[in-house]
Structure 1
Amino acid sequence: MMLFHYLKFFLFHGIGLLSVVALMAGGHWISLGLAAVLAIYIIGDGLCGDDTSIPEFRHPKILTVQVWMALPLMCLIVFTSVWSFSSADVLGFGALVTDLTGYDVIAARDATAFGHHIAGIVLTGLMIGVIGTITGHELTHRTWDPVSMFVGRWLLAFSFDTVFSIEHVYGHHRYVSTTEDPATAPRGRNVYYHVIASTLKGNASAWKIEKRRLSRKGQSAWSWHNAMLRGHLMSVALVVCALFMGGVSAALYFIACALWGKALLEIVNYMEHYGMVRNPETPVQPRHSWNTNKRISSWTMFNLTRHSHHHAQGEVPYQDLKPFPDAPMMISGYLTTIVVAMIPPLWHRLMTPKVLEWDRTFATDEEKILAAKANAVSGIPALIHANRG
């Protein structure tokens, strides 16, 4: 039984490989691959219930290697995706796959309709979010481990977001659920506005953090020592690779995938902390994040779902996070909640009662005052009415 708890996290890699196969097969298989991934998460979370197990892992190094493996997998996914949109057979990749499988992937690619390439962008961006950002998030919290930091930052480079390793660790975790946190969406905010606002403010915050760090060392912010500048150059290097693979069109295709992956991160930020309030001088508690214990999301996202414990103790590795079933709960698993968040009227209809319940059940007296102020400017009639009631 204990072996299963190690193996379940390999579902993450299985979904990545499923995406590779769909992208190589071309044509309608790309769209079917996207549909399959969506079904695994949305239907799987709906049918499979919660995972509240707390196994004791005696070989944590295995679990670390599992997340390190995300980098070669991410490279394979993105290479395959860009190849699927290119006209050249880079490195003889298509010929090799055709020889090994007997399936003419080059002919399938050449016959792929544009609509299926759009599905390829959506699928690849989703994989950049799941394979890249989630593991990059886990690894860049391990600031004491240079290998994890190296792997994590390269994973984040695929979504043009290495600044996440700076702002998230040293900014977001300090100011989460306060008005000073770019990633925390105030009540009533539209998710599409949040994607832009959080990105701009997050970059500005990361620059200030990095500038302060370098100033303490007597180093210039405009130098190779600046991790933010180095990180952006890493992303530029990936764009250049796509350019060499298939010209300008392939580079633009990769940029679209990367920006979608980045948008997914900000949508996740939106739904993880929407409407929360906290005095920045008080400790972060599990009640300051929306949590979920949906089984498929947990197994395929390295327990990102156990977000309440993560924010209470950010240095705890994913396998040791506890489920906190009494914490504030999201609408459902991650992908389901992402879909709901992208439909603002539905999001506010479902989340407004949850926010009001948070005020009644979880908020301290001080936070009730902060919540009332947030309700007053939310633009949501039910929240404004709650203040009058």
Structure 2
Amino acid sequence: MSNSPAAAPAELTSYRDDKRHWWWLPLFVAISPVLGIYLTAVTDRPSWLWITPVLWYVVLPIADWLVGRDSRNPPDVAVPNLESDGYYKFLVYASIPLFYLTWLVGAWAVATQAYSWVGYLGVSLAVALTNGLALVVGHEIGHKTTRFEKRLAQIVLAVPAYGHFSAEHNRGHHKDVATPDDPASSRFGETLYGFVLREIPGALGRAWHDEKVRLHRQGKGAWSPSNELLQSFAITAVLYGTALALWGVVLIPFLLISTFWGWQFLSTSNYIEHYGLLRQKLPDGRFERCRAEHSWNADHAISNLMLYHLQRHSDHHARPTRCYQALRSDKAPELPSGYPLCFTLAYFPPLWRAVMDKRVLEVYGGDITRVNIQPSKRAEILAKYGAANISAVGA
């Protein structure tokens, strides 16, 4: 790319986002459980109720494999125009009412349509996965600086009942990422299930603490109406409470499955995004700045479209307010596939470790002492990898 003054206008006028008209795909995912419910009604085939889980766990991994990676980046000069283009922002905003519609239709369907337990489970998991996508949208909008967008983030995060996410993620995770202090950064040797039990309560506790500190600086108490966590949770209470009042206790399994499996979507994303990666300590005791090597990327084209470029995670940590359409591929370490397949690998810890542990060691030249290790397994891991690898590095 030329840096001459004449080159910039030419690049700007010639650049076209060839993915521009494919960014509507997440909206299809957001509404896919409703499509499954409709197709079941008109065909009398309840297998359609599983359309969203099949899409996520089967179709997307196959599509990633067939289409492959896309590491192309827009030229720097085109980024300002990309970020100011209202088309991309409209698509994200348009998904928010779809998440509410999907949740309400799903609740209505399991309460009134006399599905078998298999159909009930299919709808619940389908809505859980769209709840996970709602968290991705909340992540995208919650990083923006306008008050309007922060309010929208609170509204969309109310659907999966994760109203503390923006506060925790923006003030906590981005500060402590890839360090032992971060409950949202997974450790080498830590299973997904152990991570979930650490990450979910840790994230809530950190978010509450940070919000309490923020309000204290304003002379307000933690239970003030200005508490942004409570504002989002209040919307959740109205949504869930209204549904229970309308349709009764038959909804309780739906609420539990769609909410907690939706949380799993976020936790599993966090698990695979920083597994084993560690910012090293400087001589003054502080951690080094976050760099590309502290995030796992996945440049697989199809799943990146579905997740608003969340898989270009290193650039997101470098530039948190950058809009999804302008996120760039860089020299971060790469996952073996997009998030959908990596989710399935993570569900089976021996399989995950067989694929990922060697990749972590490659990032650090085989030096296990530079890895973010699960404390309870430190002696075991050092015994397994330490002596041979450390001596090899020394040689």
TM-score normalised according to structure 1 size: 0.86
Matched, 1:210 2:211: yes
CA shift for structure 1 position 252: 3.8
Gaps of 5+ in 1: 88-108
Question: Structure 2 vs 1, CA of residues 116 and 214 (structure 1 numbering), >3 Å: closer, same or farther?
Answer: same
- CA deviation map 1:139-164 (0-9, x unaligned): 0001x212221222222122221111
Question: Structure 2 vs 1, CA of residues 314 and 33 (structure 1 numbering), >3 Å: closer, same or farther?
Answer: closer
Task: Pick from 128, 135, 145 the counterpart of residue 133 of structure 1.
Answer: 135
- The 3-state SS of whatever aligns with 1:360 is coil
- List aligned pairs for 1:254-293, cutoff 5 A: 254-278=255-279, 279=281, 280-293=286-299
Give me the whole-angstrom Cα distance separating, in 2, the residues matched to 1:376 and 1:17. Answer: 42
Give me the whole-angstrom Cα distance separating, in 2, the residues matched to 1:262 and 1:11. Answer: 22
CA shift for structure 1 position 381: 5.7
Matched, 1:8 2:22: yes
- The 3-state SS of whatever aligns with 1:207 is helix
Partner of 2:151: 150
Q: Which stretch of structure 1 is more off in the superposition, 59-68 or 226-235?
A: 226-235
CA shift for structure 1 position 236: 1.7
Q: How many residues align?
A: 358
Give me the whole-angstrom Cα distance separating, in 2, the residues matched to 1:383 and 1:125. Answer: 38
Partner of 1:49: 68
Contact 2:189-2:353 within 8 A present in 1 as well? yes
Partner of 1:173: 174
Partner of 2:104: 79
- The 3-state SS of whatever aligns with 1:291 is coil
Give me the whole-angstrom Cα distance separating, in 2, the residues matched to 1:122 and 1:72. Answer: 19
Matched, 1:116 2:130: no
CA shift for structure 1 position 75: 1.0
Give me the whole-angstrom Cα distance separating, in 2, the residues matched to 1:139 and 1:19. Answer: 23
CA shift for structure 1 position 241: 2.5
Give me the whole-angstrom Cα distance separating, in 2, the residues matched to 1:196 and 1:242. Answer: 28
Question: Structure 2 vs 1, CA of residues 70 and 138 (structure 1 numbering), >3 Å: closer, same or farther?
Answer: same
Give me the whole-angstrom Cα distance separating, in 2, the residues matched to 1:171 and 1:375. Answer: 20
Matched, 1:229 2:230: yes
Question: Structure 2 vs 1, CA of residues 388 and 161 (structure 1 numbering), >3 Å: closer, same or farther?
Answer: same
- CA deviation map 1:315-357 (0-9, x unaligned): 2111111011x21111210110011001111011111101111
Contact 1:285-1:312 within 8 A present in 2 as well? yes
Question: Structure 2 vs 1, CA of residues 375 and 235 (structure 1 numbering), >3 Å: closer, same or farther?
Answer: closer
Partner of 1:19: 33
State percent identity of aligned pairs. Answer: 27
- CA deviation map 1:7-28 (0-9, x unaligned): 1110111222333210233322
- The 3-state SS of whatever aligns with 2:73 is coil
Question: Structure 2 vs 1, CA of residues 32 and 133 (structure 1 numbering), >3 Å: closer, same or farther?
Answer: closer
Give me the whole-angstrom Cα distance separating, in 1, the residues matched to 2:222 and 2:233. Answer: 14
Partner of 2:87: 62
CA shift for structure 1 position 187: 1.3
**In the alignment, residue 126 of structure 2 is paired with which amino acid?**
L
Matched, 1:308 2:275: no
Give me the whole-angstrom Cα distance separating, in 2, the residues matched to 1:249 and 1:24. Answer: 21
Q: Which stretch of structure 1 is more off in the superposition, 53-62 or 70-79?
A: 53-62
- CA deviation map 1:79-103 (0-9, x unaligned): 111111112xxxxxxxxxxxxxxxx
Gaps of 5+ in 2: 1-14, 41-45, 389-395
**In the alignment, residue 289 of structure 2 is paired with which amino acid?**
P
Question: Structure 2 vs 1, CA of residues 370 and 376 (structure 1 numbering), >3 Å: closer, same or farther?
Answer: farther
Give me the whole-angstrom Cα distance separating, in 1, the residues matched to 2:340 and 2:63. Answer: 10
**In the alignment, residue 339 of structure 1 is paired with which amino acid?**
T
Contact 1:19-1:34 within 8 A present in 2 as well? no
Give me the whole-angstrom Cα distance separating, in 1, the residues matched to 2:320 and 2:216. Answer: 26
CA shift for structure 1 position 379: 5.6
Cα-Cα RMSD:
2.1
TM-score normalised according to structure 2 size: 0.85
CA shift for structure 1 position 134: 0.6
- The 3-state SS of whatever aligns with 1:153 is helix
Give me the whole-angstrom Cα distance separating, in 1, the residues matched to 2:110 and 2:375. Answer: 49
Contact 1:86-1:245 within 8 A present in 2 as well? no
